[in-house]
Each structure stands twice: as C-alpha cells, then as structure tokens.
C-alpha cells in the first residue's frame, strides 16, 4: 500500500456498494413510465387552461426523475455522483433564471 495515500480512504471509501438492480424493479419503472405517458396524452385533450403546460411538464419531470433514479442508478450511487447530477441541474436552472430575469418582469405572454 502506497504511503502517499490515506489507507482508510482506500479501504473504506465513501462510495455506495455496487448494487445490482433487479429486472422486477426495471419492470415496475417501465410500467410507471408507460402509464404516465398515457396520462399525459389524456390530459392534453382536456382543456385545463393555463394548467395544460403545467400538468404536461410536471408529468415529464416526474418521468425524468424516475428514469434518473432507477434506470440511471443514481438512487444507488455515492454522494459524489448524486451531488454531480444535482449540481448540473442546479446550474442549468440558475442560467435559465438569470437569462429570463428581464423577460419575467414583463407582461408574460402578452407581447
């Protein structure tokens, strides 16, 4: 063992144990995604006024989170990976909000 490394960090790294996700879990996720695809299509044909985009995007976000957590294994990853994923989306939201700061102060949708 190299003396330049902290042995405790090597032998007890903080990463989560590698966990194999079973096909049953994937099947549940698959069904959930299909059901919510059906719901979002159905909701599109109902006139909800300004809530149509809200509902559609909420369902899409929910589906994306399910894919990220289970299909992309983020639920079972180390804190380093979780933080990396979260930092990316957080940075993206900051960029959008800052760029929109002028537009959202106008009469939205009425130009």
Partner 1 sequence: MDNAIVATRPHTHETAVAAEHEHVALPQHRHHFETKEQQREAATFGMWLFLLTEIMFFGGLFFAYLLYRNWYHDAFVVSSNQLSIPLGAANTAILISSGFFMALAVWAAEVQKKSLLVIFLVLTTVFGVAFLGIKAVEYHEKWEKHHIPGNHFDVSEFINPPVNPKTGKLTEKPLAPDMAQKTQVFFFLYFAMTGMHAFHMILGIGLLFWLTWRANRGEFSAGYVAPIENFGLYWHFVDIVWLFLFPLLYLINRHPGY
Q: Which of 22, 98, 101, 105 forms a contact with partner 1 (CB under 8 A)? A: 22
Distance from C-alpha of 108 to C-alpha of 111, rounded to nearest angstrom: 7
Asked if residue 97 binds partner 1 (CB under 8 A), the reply is no
The site for partner 1, by CB under 8 A, has a size of: 57
- Could you tell me if 60 and 36 are in contact, meaning their C-beta atoms sit under 8 angstroms apart? no
28 binding partner 1? (CB under 8 A): no
Residue 69 binds to partner 1 (criterion: CB under 8 A)? no
Residues that bind partner 1 (CB under 8 A): 1, 5, 10, 13, 15, 18, 20-23, 26-27, 29-30, 33-34, 37, 40-41, 43-47, 52-53, 56-57, 59-60, 63-64, 67-68, 70-73, 77-78, 80-81, 84-85, 87-89, 91-92, 95-96, 99-100, 103, 108-109, 111
């Amino acid at each position: 063992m190299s003396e330049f490394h902290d042995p405790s960090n090597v032998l007890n790294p903080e990463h989560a144990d590698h966990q194999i996700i079973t096909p049953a879990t994937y099947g549940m996720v698959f069904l959930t995604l299909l059901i919510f695809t059906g719901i979002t299509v159905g909701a599109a044909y109902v006139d909800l006024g300004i809530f149509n985009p809200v509902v559609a995007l909420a369902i899409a976000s929910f589906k994306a989170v399910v894919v990220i957590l289970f299909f992309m294994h983020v639920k079972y990853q180390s804190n380093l990976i979780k933080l990396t994923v979260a930092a990316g989306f957080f940075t993206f939201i900051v960029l959008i909000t800052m760029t929109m700061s002028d537009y959202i102060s106008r009469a939205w949708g009425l130009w």
